[in-house]
Structure 1
Amino acid sequence: MAPGLWAVAAAALLLLLAGPVGASQGDKEPVYRDCVKQCSRTNCTGARLRGFQSTQPPYMALTGERMPYVCFWFIFNIYFNYVTYRQYWPFARFLCFEEPASALASLLNGLACLLMLLRYRSSVPRQSPMYHTITAFSLVSLNAWFWSTVFHTRDTYLTEKMDYFCASAVILYSIYLCCVRTLGLRRPGVSSMVGVLLILAFTSHVSYLTFVSFDYGYNMAANATIGMINLLWWLGWCWQNRRTLPYWWKCGVVVVLLHGLALLELLDFPPLFWVLDAHAVWHLSTVPVHFLFYSFLIDDSLHLLNTEKIGVKLE
């Protein structure tokens, strides 16, 4: 099994023992906590609960309606300050989607990834040295975008952890993909060793967030650090091969765009029309990047296959 898939499997096992996550600033507000208690006491039992369930649309019953959600707007209308609740802004819901713009953006990213994976598999023979590694990376990415869509549709402790953990798995597998392409084709033992180290790093990361503290700052710092390693590694490879591989620029543009667009997450502005926030803008902006990235992967895989056929030493 590919290291990225082992990482996802490890995350799923750890989630079976998952504990509670830490609260955001808004969750600690006394008025908010009182609102949740009062709402639960008066609306989540007996006749009121049965009445709510009887009038609930089927699509809402399918994903589950959270009674505390009404308290977000209640507190926001009192303070009208920019305090987030459960680590995000209050959003205008659409059907069963709690964060409709982010859910749509995650879905579009997943569809773009799936479309380009199918194009890759139809364009590149299985004999290409990177074929299986890239296919596995695509499956790990699709899994992450699936859970991102689910999380932005229905925020629970489980969906939040799956979103965070699967996103970390993609970042770590990106390191593995880079290692295989730059070192592993000539020295398979190196990529195997790096794969084991990445599995251990992922397991430690998930274990800390699950059993010690679900620290949002630590998670962001860890992912940013790994992402920077990935960025510098790929850019070094691009610079080294700029004279021999005419498609090298595609890789360089992709890694710079992905890391540059991630800075949009730092804006954290109040959602436009209570729908479009910085997180949604970030996810929407990454949709076109999939097409350029897979264009690079197709060109590079065909190049590797051709050089292998004529007995040329792999770069």
Structure 2
Amino acid sequence: MASPLPPCTAVIYSALAIAALLLLSATAVNASQGDKEPVYQGCVTQCVRTNCTGARLRGFQSTQAPYMALTGWTCRDDCRYQCMWQTVGLYQAEGYSIPQFHGKWPFARFLCFEEPASALASLLNGLACLLMLLRYRSSVPRQSPMYYTITAFSLVSLNAWFWSTVFHTRDTYLTEKMDYFCASAVILYSIYLCCVRTLGLKRPGVSSMVGVLLILAFTSHVSYLTFVSFDYGYNMAANATIGIVNLLWWLCWCWQNRRTLPYWWKCGMVVLLLHGLALLELLDFPPLFWVLDAHAVWHLSTVPVHFLFYSFLIDDSLHLLNTEKTGVKLE
């Protein structure tokens, strides 16, 4: 009779089964109500015809603020922005719910920032990540076994927060793709980080194999979204898949080491907070004061988590270094 699976292995297999169901249930997002409205479409067509050709276009370009031109705002974009608010006003006057436009809620533009609250929140997350990376590098010697893996993870995270800030500043085909792809890279690298810490220190071959599989997964994910279909439902389900596996894997490790590592609770708290706070996106309400929506609230709420996460990484890296020096078996 075969021996039962280790507890953590069984949990991870269960997570993969749930994740498969999520991927199978993923559906594409339909077009938004606002941009399908004939009044909106007619307004944009008329505005572009009137203001975005000939002398009027040259007049628009000559009076446009430099920061608007540098961030790629065009006359057509300005027409869409103005017509969006005209349509919103008509919806409100008739007592209807606020519609979305091109997959997004209407936001009040601030300078060149299309979603000012989310852009600020992304910037704050990036600054918190950078600050704690510098603290990590000043507190942990390079000889620590996880030093370079954690440094690489931090750089991947910083890149993702940079593109998140850019995307929420100016939503274009390129910035949207970079935001989504870089966010997926962070989620996949978090699995690699977890694998190296929990298995790779004792069995380096395992982390190498997982690393190759994750690179293939990322390449396939990006290729599908780029060349087959940019399916928002699939992208969300794929990220949720890795998130669930990552959550349960770390929690199993925390539980197994709760008696030997006094700082284990920091890791458990971080993964629970990150995945719990992600549920804020499910609220999905029209932005308060046309600025603060569920996505911005989610990003703002994750800023303090960076400090607790790197506190755990510093404690754990110093513990691993001391363990290696004394020749004690790694957890």
Aligned partners of 2:215, 2:32: CA distance in 1, in Å?
A: 29
Among candidates 65, 82, 85, match of residue 73 of structure 1: 85
Equivalent residues in 2 for 1:80-99, closer than 5 Å: 80=92, 81-99=97-115
**Superposed displacement of residue 87, structure 1:** 1.5
Aligned partners of 2:223, 2:280: CA distance in 1, in Å?
A: 28
Among candidates 165, 169, 172, match of residue 149 of structure 1: 165
Moved more, 39-48 or 156-165: 39-48
**Superposed displacement of residue 25, structure 1:** 4.2
Aligned partners of 1:171, 1:236: CA distance in 2, in Å?
A: 18
Does 1:190 pair with 2:206? yes
Aligned to 2:184: 168
**Superposed displacement of residue 34, structure 1:** 2.8
Aligned partners of 2:122, 2:47: CA distance in 1, in Å?
A: 32
**Identity in percent:** 88
Aligned partners of 2:116, 2:262: CA distance in 1, in Å?
A: 40
Aligned partners of 1:193, 1:37: CA distance in 2, in Å?
A: 54
**Superposed displacement of residue 22, structure 1:** 8.2
**Superposed displacement of residue 50, structure 1:** 1.1
Aligned to 2:263: 247
Equivalent residues in 2 for 1:11-22, closer than 5 Å: none
Moved more, 61-70 or 172-181: 61-70
Aligned partners of 1:205, 1:182: CA distance in 2, in Å?
A: 25
Question: Given that residues 63 and 154 in structure 1 are in contact (C-alpha distance below 8 angstroms), is that contact kept between their aligned partners in structure 2?
Answer: yes
Aligned partners of 1:270, 1:34: CA distance in 2, in Å?
A: 24
Does 1:138 pair with 2:150? no
Aligned to 1:47: 55
**Superposed displacement of residue 38, structure 1:** 2.4
Question: Given that residues 22 and 214 in structure 1 are in contact (C-alpha distance below 8 angstroms), is that contact kept between their aligned partners in structure 2?
Answer: no
Moved more, 26-35 or 98-107: 26-35
3-state DSSP of counterpart to 2:259: coil
Does 1:107 pair with 2:123? yes
Matched letter for residue 169 of structure 2: T
Moved more, 49-58 or 304-313: 49-58
Moved more, 187-196 or 61-70: 61-70
Aligned to 2:64: 56
Question: Given that residues 32 and 99 in structure 2 are in contact (C-alpha distance below 8 angstroms), is that contact kept between their aligned partners in structure 1?
Answer: no
Aligned partners of 2:324, 2:35: CA distance in 1, in Å?
A: 58
Aligned partners of 2:330, 2:116: CA distance in 1, in Å?
A: 46
Aligned to 2:10: none
Among candidates 264, 273, 278, match of residue 289 of structure 2: 273
Aligned partners of 1:22, 1:213: CA distance in 2, in Å?
A: 13
Aligned partners of 2:288, 2:56: CA distance in 1, in Å?
A: 34
Among candidates 200, 224, 239, match of residue 216 of structure 2: 200
Matched letter for residue 43 of structure 2: C
Matched letter for residue 300 of structure 1: D
Larger Rg, first or second structure (1 or 2): 2
Aligned partners of 1:57, 1:46: CA distance in 2, in Å?
A: 19
Aligned to 1:237: 253
Question: Given that residues 128 and 306 in structure 2 are in contact (C-alpha distance below 8 angstroms), is that contact kept between their aligned partners in structure 1?
Answer: yes
3-state DSSP of counterpart to 2:155: helix
Matched letter for residue 323 of structure 2: T
Aligned to 1:227: 243
Aligned partners of 1:213, 1:197: CA distance in 2, in Å?
A: 22
Aligned partners of 1:292, 1:217: CA distance in 2, in Å?
A: 31
Aligned to 1:282: 298
Moved more, 245-254 or 215-224: 215-224
Question: Given that residues 34 and 102 in structure 2 are in contact (C-alpha distance below 8 angstroms), is that contact kept between their aligned partners in structure 1?
Answer: yes
3-state DSSP of counterpart to 2:179: helix
Equivalent residue pairs, number: 295
Give the alignment's TM-score, normalised by structure 2: 0.86
Among candidates 273, 279, 299, match of residue 263 of structure 1: 279
Question: Given that residues 117 and 135 in structure 1 are in contact (C-alpha distance below 8 angstroms), is that contact kept between their aligned partners in structure 2?
Answer: yes
Question: Given that residues 254 and 293 in structure 1 are in contact (C-alpha distance below 8 angstroms), is that contact kept between their aligned partners in structure 2?
Answer: yes
Aligned partners of 2:39, 2:54: CA distance in 1, in Å?
A: 24
The ranges of structure 1 where at least 4 consecutive aligned residues each deviate by more than 6 angstroms after the TM superposition are: none
Does 1:28 pair with 2:36? yes
Question: Given that residues 22 and 213 in structure 1 are in contact (C-alpha distance below 8 angstroms), is that contact kept between their aligned partners in structure 2?
Answer: no
Does 1:179 pair with 2:195? yes
Moved more, 89-98 or 178-187: 89-98
Question: Given that residues 67 and 112 in structure 2 are in contact (C-alpha distance below 8 angstroms), is that contact kept between their aligned partners in structure 1?
Answer: yes
